[in-house]
Amino acid sequence: MNISLNWLTDYVEVAMPAAELEQLFTRIGLNHEGTSETPTDLVLDLEVTSNRPDCLGHIGVARELAVATGKAFTPPALKDVATAGKASELTGVDVQAPDLCPRYSARVIRGVKIGPSPEWLVERLEAIGMRSVNNIVDVTNFILMEYSQPLHAFDYDKLAENRIVVRRARGGERMVSIDETTCDLDESMLVIADANKPVAIAGVMGGLDTEVSDETVNILLESAQFDPLNIRHTSRKLALMSESNFRFERGVDPVALDEASLRACQMIVELAGGELAEGSVDVWADPYEAPTVTMRPARCSALLGFDIPADEQASILDRLGLAAVLEGDTITCTIPPYRADLTREADLIEEVARIVGYDKIPLATKIAHEVVGMDDEQKIRQDISLVLAASGFDEAITFTYIDVEEAALFGVDKPACADTLTRKTNNALRPTLLPSLLAACKANQDSGNSDISLYELAAAFMPTGSENELDEHLEIAMVTSSDLRDLRGAVEALCEQIATGASLELRPSAQPGMDSDAAAEMLLNGNTIGVIGRISADVLKHYGIERPLAAARLRMDVLKSCAHLERTYSTVPRFPAVRRDLSLVVDEETTWAQIQEVLTAIDQPLRTDVQYVTTYRGKPITAGRKSVTLTVVYQSNDATLRSEQVDEQITEIVTALAGALKAEVRT
């Protein structure tokens, strides 16, 4: 926000060096970003936070400066202007959407003469970076930067029936804005229309057909209040940005808009001639009633850490325009319309703090901070990050909401919030993180990243079937373009790190969103922890993903219940391990889980590991049979194993598998 020092001094005395003024603004919450000079002025660039739209105009900044310096604040003096005719007889205002336009005021000026602005007005506008257009437009821009109240001047004679209709746009309507942008309107947008068509996009930009031109003689001046959220949505939809929508999105003073309109009319009559019609056509759906907020001086001093006398606190709040009254141990403030950000006691305490100065808050000589170790969940989270990072996965942080259609892809037809959220997209809480990760995979693909491995640890919201119940739980989800076996290895490493010694079992089963022949339920110590598999072709097509993906999801609560967080260690083996590859021909129906079950039942203390290698089908293996290759590892802590010892162990394995599963050693 550019502030002209010459302009500022119209309302408050500034008697300090520029450097001191810059520091003062920063101290009271208007961070100084920089200062520039023009031949006749000094311009300060101030950062105005979104909760202080009143400081987007020189009057608001002057009011703050007056409080901080103790100087008098002098607002603009409104002069009497001769009138001719009545505004109510010359125009009408029909507000059909009061929820989006709480107040709309229209004034009429007839007989103006369009021309250049006087030098002082041009200098004021150019100093803060605005271009001079003509005397009418320049006045509206001047008021914009003075009151932080956007105004719009219509060519009165170009309005059908010379009246205003404030309504929602109709589907298919189109309008060309003053910057010559063709705008396709829809029912979510608020427009200013005449009797026939839209003539402005409310709060954003006027229309080309009714703008003030050199031929304009009569003017209808708009001053209004619009719904901030609607203005923001409309502006983003149409990709139209202006100084007006910047202020309307943050909120305007619903009371001062009439004063701003009258001051603009007075300036127009002074600079462009013409006659002002008496009064205005003012439609105000819900006139402003000032709320009150109370503050305890003792609470203010306690929170800030030093004593500020109650009467001083009341004086500060009163100078801020809050009509503060100190009664007993309470200060009651009446909130003016330009300070809609003040709604609770903490807000008033903050006002006192920034005026007194945050630098006045004493610094303690010691800061007590209790150092505690990580709890179990924090340790598990850390291990998850370390293991998955080591497995080649990048962490993703995605949105909690997805489309209802995405939830259905994973077997949930009625996700949480599907009935309560009215928006067309992102209208349901995700029952699993996989839809969010798949959307991230699509974004990576579109950016040229074809090798993708992502994981996320966040909340998922699975419906339980009961109307008022929801299974909210932490989920670890993984998606990768690598092989399904690589993903299984990452899951096994994760479970081994956190639940050392726990048994992870995979049971092939159909899972929504996954290929029926490449999906399994995962159990940890017999408890269902999640699923793993390849994403189905239909799901990949829905997201527009071009290459196969494997995915898994695990419940954090099950993993935590099996966690073994006490780390154990063993000495480094002194003697080498012996590895034996074994290819077994078994029936097609035989699963790896069955082979593992047989091996687990054989007591072989020297056996340290069994690893699956591959499966082969084809010649010379007979139909209905397959070859499963595995690696068995043996190792002793006492001596180097001899081949004869290992041969005995292998023979025992082969015999057991032959008896239980009709396995034969492939030669």
pTM value is 0.64
**Own/partner pairs for 157-161, CB < 8 Å, 24+ apart?**
157/216, 157/217, 157/218, 158/199, 158/209, 158/210, 159/91, 159/194, 159/195, 159/199, 159/210, 159/220, 160/194, 160/195, 160/196, 160/197, 161/194, 161/195
pLDDT for position 424: 74
The predicted model gives 568-586 an average pLDDT of 90
Q: Cβ-count burial of 73 within 10 angstroms (0-12 exposed, 13-18 middle, 19+ buried)? A: middle
pLDDT, one tens digit per residue, over 186-230 is 999 999 999 999 999 999 999 999 999 999 999 999 999 999 999
pLDDT tens-digit map of 468-526: 778 899 999 999 999 999 999 999 999 999 998 888 888 899 999 999 889 999 999 99
Distance CA 352, CA 322 (A): 12
Could you tell me the two tokens for 272?
A: 């462009």
Residue with tokens 């030093």: 306
Mean pLDDT (the chain, rounded)? 93
* 341 and 333 Cβ atoms separated by less than 8 Å: no
Strands (E), 169-311: 174-176, 182-184, 190-193, 198-201, 205-206, 218-225, 275-278, 281-284, 292-295
CB distance 161 to 194 below 8 Å: yes
What is the three-class DSSP state of 126? helix
Q: How confident is the model over 596-605, as pLDDT tens digits? A: 999 999 999 9
408 sits in which H/E element = helix 404-409
Give the separation between CA 573 and CA 636, rounded to whole angstroms. 8
Taking the CA atoms of residue 566, residue 570, residue 572 and residue 577 in that order, the dihedral angle to the nearest 10 degrees is -110
| 222 neighbors 151 (Cβ within 8 angstroms) | yes
Q: Residue 369: pLDDT band by 50, 70, 90 thresholds?
A: confident
Paired tokens of 293: 């907020």
Closest by CA to 551, choosing from 459, 473, 484, 497, is 484
- Gap between the Cα atoms of 231 and 237, Å rounded: 10
Average pLDDT of 86-106? 96
Q: Which two tokens stand for residue 144?
A: 């914009």
Say how far residue 222 (Cα) sits from the centre of its chain: 33
Q: Which residue has the tokens 């309109």?
A: 261
- Three-class SS of residue 146? helix
State the average pLDDT over residues 458-463: 92
pLDDT in tens, 42-63: 999 999 999 999 999 999 999 9
**391-419 residue pLDDT tens:** 999 999 999 999 999 999 999 888 887 66
Measure the CA–CA gap between 623 and 602, rounded to whole angstroms: 30
CA dist 7 to 59, 124, 145, 582, Å? 9, 7, 10, 90
> Which tokens is 56 given?
């987007």
Check residue 372 and give its pLDDT.
Answer: 85
Digit-coded pLDDT (tens) for 325-364: 999 999 999 999 999 999 999 999 999 999 999 888 888 7
Q: How confident is the model at residue 652 (pLDDT cuts 50, 70, 90)?
A: very high
Distance, CA of 437 to CA of 396 (rounded, Å): 8
* Model confidence band, residue 422 (pLDDT cutoffs 50, 70, 90): low
Percent of the chain residues past pLDDT 70, beyond the cut: 99
**pLDDT tens, position by position, 161-195:** 999 999 999 989 999 999 999 999 999 999 999 99
| Upstream peptide bond of 620 is cis (omega within 30 degrees of 0) | yes
Q: What is the pLDDT of residue 463?
A: 87
> Tokens for 563?
């966690």
The helix (run of H) or strand (run of E) holding residue 388 is helix 376-390
Res 245 pLDDT > 70: yes
Domains belonging to the chain, first-starting first, are 2-69 (3.30.56.10), 83-284 (3.50.40.10), 292-360 (3.30.56.10), 376-561 (3.30.930.10), 578-665 (3.30.70.380)
Residues 589, 594, 598, 604: is their CA dihedral positive or negative?
A: positive
CA distances from 122 to 126, 134, 141 (A): 6, 9, 11
Unique residue bearing structure tokens 């031949």: 39
Residues 299, 303, 304, 305: is their CA dihedral positive or negative?
Answer: positive
User: Quick check: 421 pLDDT over 70?
Assistant: no
Instruction: With H, G, I as helix, E, B as strand and everything else as coil, classify residue 535.
Output: strand
Residues 6+ apart with CB under 8 A from 360: 306
